[in-house]
Structure 1
């Protein structure tokens, strides 16, 4: 299967559709998130080279289920962002990608493994880039909740797909002095994503 191919994206999308079961046949992503008071969570992560995220919502049975997945390679300039900006970039991308869905709920929670993001909106001095992002964040009614990286299985997996990571020193996302990251060893993408959805009532 070709790296980053439409076939692979379809495979991941189908995985999330299977994980959403049981839902009524007529339920769609849009139909599900139109319920304003339903608990909604956006999980985000950045590996430094890729941003990833998952949109989930709690069903009538009290079980949190996935709605959609998102991942995108960072541009070379974005790979040089400070770590907190890389993590915030993942949040911004996910909110913009699911803008229509998130505007239909009363509020939602963003889960991130970077503790300092909870205080981002309180910072007195922002860079020009952060100021633009702050304006984007102001459009949504949400809270940021810290969650340890080891618990962020789904977004962590989506932001660390082996085919999206640098594979040679010629990759223009890599500074000359940076060594290649260790790729995920053992267990496939599907297995890791599934393990992130342990259904609990």
Structure 2
């Protein structure tokens, strides 16, 4: 398996972050939520091209990456403004949550783990967060602040590019993974028509994301 240099992955990650932030700003400016999906799809196709022949140890795309790709397709259903009822959006988001982790488990079980698979899985999770925020914003029940939890991941990537801290990436740990699961679950629940509870849950999630990324920035400077 001949993987591309780390520098090429950094370049893709930065370009992907800029594309996703541009999509988020387009939604904030009044464009439909689906405007985020096309640049995301193009970016992931580019990632697959960069890692061609290195998708898995055997070079094939594999079952684990196929599940991740299926999750990405399901995320598109969250971005169809006004055409999908809130309860169906919540159902789709729940299915995506249930599938999250299955791809990693299969990759480890079948010996399919790769740098491409890990990156693909992590970035689909990040896009899922952004899509949930865009769906909530499109519901008309939230202000533009609801886009912040989805944008912070990409702002963090560009921060590391501009500030050049001692570490280029934060280390994953149980705390960060737990926060990620709580954020995705909270945003999914906020999709439901539960009145002011949805706003309260989304506000707590937003504060949790801000705290998590503040801790990640601290970690970059205290390796």
**Higher share of residues assigned strand:** 1
Q: Normalising by structure 1, report the TM-score.
A: 0.26
Higher RCO structure, 1 or 2 (CA under 8 Å, sep 6+): 1
TM-score by length of 2: 0.24
Report the structure, 1 or 2, having the larger helix content.
Answer: 2
